[in-house]
Amino acid sequence: MRSITLAARYVWRKRGRTLSLLLILLVVATTTLTGLAVRDAASNAQRIIRQTLGGVFTLEQNEDDPANWTMQDIEGMGSKQVFAGKPITAGLCRTVMEQVDGIRGCDATTEQVLVPETADGAMLALIDDAAGTDAAMEQAFRADDFGNTVTVIGGTDTRFDANFAKGYLRLAEGDPVIDPDAVPDGDAARGAASEDGNGGDSADGDGVVGDVMIGRRLAELNGLRIGDTIVLRRATVHANMSGTTVERTRTPVRIVGLFDDTAKSSVLTSNWSMSNAMFTTMDVVDHARQGTAEEGFEKISFYVDDPARTADIVRQVQGLDALAGGDYAVSQDTSDADAVSGPLENLDGLVIALVVIALVAGTVILCLVLASRVKERMHESGVLLSLGFSRWSILGQYLVEALMVAVVAFALSIPVGALIGQAVGDRLLDLSDAGGAPVSDPGGDIVSKDGMAVVGGDGMSPVFLPNADMADLHVAIDGWTVAWLFGLGLALVVVSVGLAGIVLMRRRPKDILASMA
């Protein structure tokens, strides 16, 4: 108790020295606290990114197996190598979901280019968002209605379409497009679709074959709203090559949802950009291009509950009997998550180095300052020794003095750290940003039975850039961060006082008293 009283008196009496020590500890504490808060924010951002982008794997047809390819005569085109492997069906999606735990959803997709029209037969105006990468080809396409084709994705559940699940697109208005006969929870969806008169393969009373979701900007450009009907059909050149007529491919669909894009995409021509894309079901695509359902989906995307278990779930799926025979390839693609979280991972190492440097530098500076003061107070220590105080009690007084100042400095660092934490985090993230690369779904075209490429490669499918906003830091100082600060800070003070007190502890009381005389 006497040590605490003496310490309090000394701190108040030597206000100049107290203030200098307070400033030193405040700088060390603020640096440490900011570093801990930024690292915690980076960890949270990485977790969100892995949850959004990392917990996904795909099932595709095995194009690397030569047995899955064959030569076939294509009318008007001669012989051509076509893919003849086992098709991917919606039933395969259900089978995997039922036999493997930990999967929260899936979406089987196929992709085509079709011409969108109004119910009166007028082609829709398309958005030119400068997404095209080949101006010459874009100009050539405008010679006929092929230049008015858009990317049409036929799937089973847009809630788990890769573009929506990874945050590149978001549902802005209306409902998602769900095939009631394909998704695992199809019973509930089938009931809702039947009430609308729009379930199954057949068209409803208005001739509508199925549902479609389009971009909100595209809808506004053409004066369309949810509930309106548009028509999807094949381009004239595609219809002629397939031996059919454009009229036979006309497929009325009803708009049930509108989406917004949240990331920039690029593609071969702007008409195929994601701003003009449409999402529908396999029934609609097959109605517009007969034979698509027989060929099956191009791939299935599966999303897991826990991204950390993705690799283990992939191994379980690869071992299923339904996938035996080498007809399918299962892979985990982490390129999107790696591209976005790369700077955050670099930031983690940078922040750890910053905190370590702050703590080490703080310890060295405190040791030098406190050791100097211990020497200056050697006469005072001798007086206390003559009054019966032990060296340990004197060292304890020095420790109490430092801890009193440290507690105040640590408390002041909380509002200071909260004030500068976000700015420091953003600056460190800029320094650690290794840059992003375009994210795509690579792969060559698969030629279908009518000689047309049905799987979009890099040119046909929109290529998204990683959404940098997902890597934004939201720095906040919580209770755990403050607890870490006080724990590390108090340990630093104790070590510094102990090292500085060696000067006192190595001298015998008799020597100190003799030097006073």
Angle between the N-to-C axes of helices 378-386 and 335-376, in degrees from 0 to 180, rounded to the nearest 10:
60
DSSP character string of 147-163: GG-EEEEEESBGGG-HH
Long-range contacts of 384-389 (CB under 8 A, 24+ apart): 385/509, 385/512, 385/513, 386/513
From first to last of the 517 residues of the chain, give the pLDDT tens digit.
666 777 677 777 777 888 888 888 888 888 888 888 877 777 776 666 666 655 788 888 887 776 666 666 655 556 666 666 788 888 888 888 889 998 888 888 898 999 999 989 899 999 887 655 555 555 655 667 888 899 999 999 999 888 887 778 899 999 999 987 666 654 444 334 434 544 444 455 568 999 999 999 999 999 999 999 999 999 988 888 888 898 999 999 999 999 998 877 667 777 888 889 999 999 999 999 988 888 888 888 888 887 778 889 999 998 988 888 778 888 876 666 665 556 666 677 777 887 888 888 888 888 888 777 777 777 677 777 677 777 787 778 888 888 888 888 889 888 888 887 777 766 666 665 544 443 444 333 333 333 333 333 344 555 555 554 555 667 777 888 888 888 888 888 888 888 877 766 666 666 666 665 5
* 3-state SS class at 251: strand
Give the residue from 275, 268, 298 showing the smallest Cα distance to 83.
298
50 secondary structure, DSSP code: I
Using the Cα atoms of residue 291, residue 292, residue 298 and residue 300 in order, give the sign of their dihedral.
Answer: negative
